[in-house]
Structure 1
Amino acid sequence: MKHAKETGLGELDLHLIGEGRHERLWQALGAHPATVDGVAGTSFAVWAPNARTVRVVGDFNDWDSDAHPLAHADGGIWEGFVPGAEPGQRYKLRLEGPDGEWFEKADPMAFATEVPPDNASVIATSTHAWGDDEWLERRAATTWSDAPMSIYEVHLGSWRQGLSYREAAEQLAEYVLEHGFTHVELLPVAEHPFGGSWGYQVTSYYAPTSRFGSPDDFRWFVDHLHQRGIGVIVDWVPAHFPRDAWALARFDGTPLYEHPDPRRGEQPDWGTYVFDFGRPQVRNFLVANALFWLEEFHVDGLRVDAVASMLYLDYSRQDGQWEPNVHGGRENLEAVQFLQELNGTVAKHHPDTLVIAEESTSWPGVTAPTGTGGLGFSMKWNMGWMHDTLQYLGREPVHRAWHQDEITFSLVYAWSEQFVLPLSHDEVVHGKGSLWGRSPGDAWNKAAGVRALLAYMWAHPGKQLLFMGGEFGQSGEWSEGRSLDWHELEDPLHAGISRLVGDLNRTYVASPALWSQDARPEGFVWIDASDAAGSVLSFLRVGSDGTQLACVCNFSGAPHPDYRVGLPATGTWREVVNTDAEVYGGSGVGNLGRVEATDEPMHGQPASAVLQIPPAGVLWLVHEEASETVGTTLAEDALEPDGEPVDGVSGKA
């Protein structure tokens, strides 16, 4: 029998691992190519405190099941050096559990894996030379709560099927820049065996999926997007993990990563295990993993999945299926502590990155600082806004007059947290229909409904997130098994939505009124929300520089000619967005690019203007003095050099 030579993790490493405080855990555990006593090979180390024996098998020893036992160190660590083991070779860990049963496992700290369904770990090292210093410097100088942020959510495997990380980076960067998004958010890219999970059942937390290339290929993906000025956020899944016998489940023959009590350790909805958040080494595994993605892959943020399932002991459980906490409540105090530790650690090391919560309840203080008892997230998905808005816009226009509160209620609590407005993948699957499909009426009305929804969303306080396909109003539900329905862009209605999204994003980024006070109530002023009968609402967004943008929404199916709206200043207001413009597939009802506000007070404002409001349409108006800073917009594109409007672009009165 060969023996893996001991490498001797340092006393500090072992001490920190034992206490669950090794913030760079991936630098100590896992497989690390090294040279020991002049011999090239790989050092292996794994945490398996209840195992009797641990061996490493792989291509380097012909998968000899008796080869290379690892030495038992303090804190449940097994370690050893295998001469000749080199990057690119596959390996697994062979463990003997406390009951004497032998089994093989993938390395929890593996940096690369085989392409699923194969599941061996792969020795990997990085040679990538980063070129994103300029992006990182800009990021460090940015406060995201007061900056423009428009997120394009992407499932890499089905955006355009068959692309590698590098191919996707080049094509996605061009597409995202064309549409003006500031960030891409990827559905989970950590390795997962089942494509139908969309990445949400992770087996290798420290390895990007090998479906699209190597870890360095993913580094190249992020680097390329950064060099094109695009941020990258990844979905991260610390709430639960799958039961696959070769992965984390019962790792050393005992419940190690999962909570041993099924009332806390099993997720009944998804058939998965729940991490034991009270165990220091498990918290360490996850907190270090967050730092790993931020540091090793330069990602700009993590979107934390299923936070509500972590916070509540009775989540998806009936009476008798859960146990109260020590205070008799339903809150998972250990998960709360973990989330606070996670966010505190990220804020300490990378304060310019984001940790965004998908939290679907009214848990208080999700984005409040941990020092005041909050969870410490940077932002939170506004699921209430999403639910109410889609419910309202799914109604027949004639019925919306009785449900005006659904479209206005979000402004009651818009500043209680730092919000992202999500129209995510979850809203276009499982029979819910696409955004297009949810909109009532024929094709023209569906397109108008999607355009109005997006323009309202982009003007609403909060950052925007739109799942792929929504930017051109894909008519069918999303499926991970096929590419988006790109052929629909040949239809002028879908092409019009695509053009609108680009114009919305470019106007948004150039308009501080829409983002510089997102997190403060001073950034929003109602003009009028009382016209339920007409399904019209209007409001102002106000920038920290004093600039203002008026948004007027008509969610009825009929135009409102000669409709007077209050405005904060007299003079010319430019129509910088009109969702009913003919270039977007609309009917062309509008104001020829501008309106004149007089000193007639209205809606509590000192001035007002008479508007031609299109059916199922949204207008954005900017005062002429301020509109020069907005940049090239729809209304400006609509004017010939002599100042005359081009028919049908900015809308016809």
Structure 2
Amino acid sequence: MWAPNARAVSVFGDFDDWDPGAHPMRRDGDGHWTAAVAGAGPGHAYKYRVLGADGIARDKADPLALATQCPPETASVIAAPSEYVWHDHDWLAGRATTDPATAPVSVYEVHLPSWHPGASYRELAGPLAEHAVAHGFTHIQLLPITEHPYGGSWGYQVGSYFAPTARLGPADDFRFLVDHLHSRGLGVLLDWVPAHFPKDDFALGRFDGTPLYEHADPLRREQPDWGTYAFNLGRPEIREFLIASAVFWCEEFHLDGLRVDAVAAMLYLDYSREPGQWRPNERGTHENDEAVAFLRELNDAVHQAVPGALVVAEESTAWPGVTAPTSRGGLGFDFKWNLGWMNDALDFVSRPHEERRRAQERLVFSLTYATAEQFVLPLSHDEVVHGKGTLWTRLPDGSDRAAGVRLLLAYQWAHPGKKLLFMGQEFGQRNEWSDVDGPDWQLLDDPAHAGIARLVADLNRLYREYPALHAQDYRADGFSWLDGNDTTNTVIGFLRLGPEPGCPGHAVACVLNFSTADLYDYRIGLPTGGTWREILNTGAIDYAGGGVGNLGAVRAEAIPSHGRPYSARLTLPAESAVFFTPGPH
């Protein structure tokens, strides 16, 4: 146990009736403390009594513990060696040879404790896999299950960086969950939190009576948004601790990658700080050079240790090269959340319909930089909490909310970039998410909400089947406007293109009507003549829509329009999206 500035350390627990004086520890020259304890074994809870450099004795959990007591208890637990036998060898081999940038990646974001409240890792495995497969997702992303003292933090205030939460069962049961998801063709990502940690007395803060894990500089010690400590990324021991945690989760639990939380809070010395509350770097600027170096080291380490693992950044600024390789000066992430797309899309759909024409440029702005990074388009848990409402309630009063949710989701799936959707939004959850109650599954008995769920399944099916919708997300020749940007009718139309012209699924025309009017004989330019099949209509009766559409196909005539040699007349249902692809009806 590392506590270089402690005056004395002892270990105590179930094995000695919690006598802090029974087993004093010895310090080596590197500040590590060790002791041999006869009778200590798997299942025993323990803590360290640390007499700090400040003369204060603190009882601390083990920063490297592989198991913990179930919160609200906070002791570490000696973990038994894993007895789990994995069955996912073929999955891991296939993952290592897949290029995620050109593959369909559709992520279902889940808070495990509330997906079905009261269920364990093993009890969740079957229903979660069945639900995600039925709705066509390729990955599950778990809100942090690294052990955390306060359930209401949703896992974002981590108490133990190497132990899965005991709330849902032992570590081998979590292995079973991951293995089962792999057996159903689902990747598993973990939300991982290296930006900050809580101030709870038992945890990492002032571990040896000094700012050890947190920064010694009081202007860099805390994350003001969350009332937590920020890691001192300038210390090699701290970098090694965090990188070991990241690799551990991917290796020990066969996870397919990490979503790194709050990257912007790490990158900027002035993040959420006013003048006088931060100190510039040696160049007089606000970049956190220590964090930049750490993130590059992190990504290189994960990618080297775990072939095929993804590392995804939640990064909310215009920092350049987040997904560029470290060898070219980038941070080395595989993907970056496009929070600009999310903010603009939600702002647009929340406006009264009469205001949308004036805001349409904001809706499509993200298409001007869609290839600047390898983006994920998130509609995450952050958008359905803290009074923000849900996708359903964000839509204007008096509107057809079911149609509006279907249209927003169709825009998300049509737009270049990988996809992420938080649990409950796949059927248009009405209430804000509660980490205690979870989704309102009974809404699936309502035709409007069941229709949204069927649409998500079909969107994911088309997304996987048509290379045009995923294979060139980050190439300029994977996208082309069809109608410019029709603010008169509040319509946008564009073409998604795959890498092999003429092959099935190479082209998909996506036309979205954000107005409340059915538009008939709407002419739009197309690159080729002949039949274009309607492969999706979010206003279809199957989705509880009104059934207005194109009877399965349109005919592109040799009439130039919008700079294209051919054009077709479409019927565009109100607040709906229609997708077409060339080929026989």
TM-score interval (norm. to shorter): over 0.9
Aligned-residue offset at 1:529: 2.7
What secondary structure does 2:273 align onto? coil
Q: 1:307, 1:132 → 2: CA distance?
A: 31
For residues 132-531 of structure 1, the aligned pairs below 5 Å read 132-442=88-398, 445-531=400-486
Structure 2 residue corresponding to 1:588, chosen from 513, 531, 547: 547
**Gaps spanning 5+ residues in structure 1: where?**
1-45, 628-653
Residues 59-101 of structure 1 show CA distances to partners (whole Å, capped at 9, x for unaligned) of 1122121122222223111123322211111111111212333
C-alpha displacement of 1:312? 0.8
| Distance (whole Å) between structure 2 residues aligned to residue 101 and residue 432 of structure 1 | 43
Alpha-carbon shift at residue 158 of structure 1 (Å): 1.3
Name the counterpart of 2:33.
78
Helix, strand or coil at the partner of 1:330 = coil
In 1: Cα distance, 2:489 partner to 2:82 partner: 60
Deviation at 1:487, TM superposition (A): 1.2
SS at 2:489 equivalent? coil
| Contact 1:398-1:557 at 8 Å conserved across structures | no
Q: 2:571 aligns with which of 577, 595, 612?
A: 612
| Partner SS for 2:412 | helix
Residue identity matched to 1:508: Y
Letter in 2 for 1:391: D
Letter in 2 for 1:319: P
Question: 2: distance between equivalents of 1:81 and 1:227?
Answer: 41
Find the partner of 2:519 among 536, 560, 571: 560
Q: 2:10: which partner in 1? A: 55
Could you give the per-residue CA deviations for residues 328-372 of structure 1, whole angstroms, max 9, x where no partner exists? 011111111111111111122224111100001111111111122
Do residues 539 (structure 1) and 498 (structure 2) align? no
For 1:568 and 1:279, the matched residues in 2 are separated by 57
Q: Which amino acid aligns with 2:534?
A: E
Distance 1:578 1:146 in 2: 25
| 1:386–1:422 CA contact under 8 A, matched in 2 | yes
> How far is 1:587 from its partner?
0.5
The structural deviation recorded for 1:114 is 0.6
The answer to whether the Cα contact below 8 Å between 2:295 and 2:331 also exists between their aligned partners in 1 is: yes
Distance 1:544 1:508 in 2: 15
Count, aligned residues? 580
Secondary structure of the equivalent of 1:474?
Answer: coil
Identity of counterpart residues, as a percentage? Answer: 60
Amino acid at match of 2:546: S
8 Å Cα contact 2:95-2:307 kept in structure 1? no
TM-score by length of 2: 0.98
Q: Distance in 2 between matches of 1:228 and 1:75?
A: 47
Kept in 2, the 8 Å contact 1:529–1:536? The answer is no
Deviations 1:98-144 (A, max 9, x none): 23332210000000101100001011121111111111111111000
Structure 2 equivalent of residue 634 of structure 1: none
Q: Distance in 2 between matches of 1:481 and 1:543?
A: 43
Segments of 5+ residues of structure 2 without an aligned counterpart are none
Distance 2:226 2:284 in 1: 26
Tell me how far 1:286 sits from its aligned partner.
Answer: 0.4
TM-score by length of 1: 0.88
Distance 1:224 1:82 in 2: 38
Is the deviation greater in 589-598 or in 206-215? 589-598
Amino acid at match of 1:157: P
Look up the SS of the partner of 2:581 in the other structure: strand
Q: Distance in 2 between matches of 1:529 and 1:93?
A: 65
Q: CA RMSD in A?
A: 1.1
Tell whether the 8 Å contact from 2:312 to 2:336 is kept in structure 1 after alignment.
yes
Residues of 1 paired with 2:161 and 2:138: CA distance? 26
CA contact (8 A) 2:3 2:32 kept: yes
Q: Distance in 1 between matches of 2:566 and 2:64?
A: 63
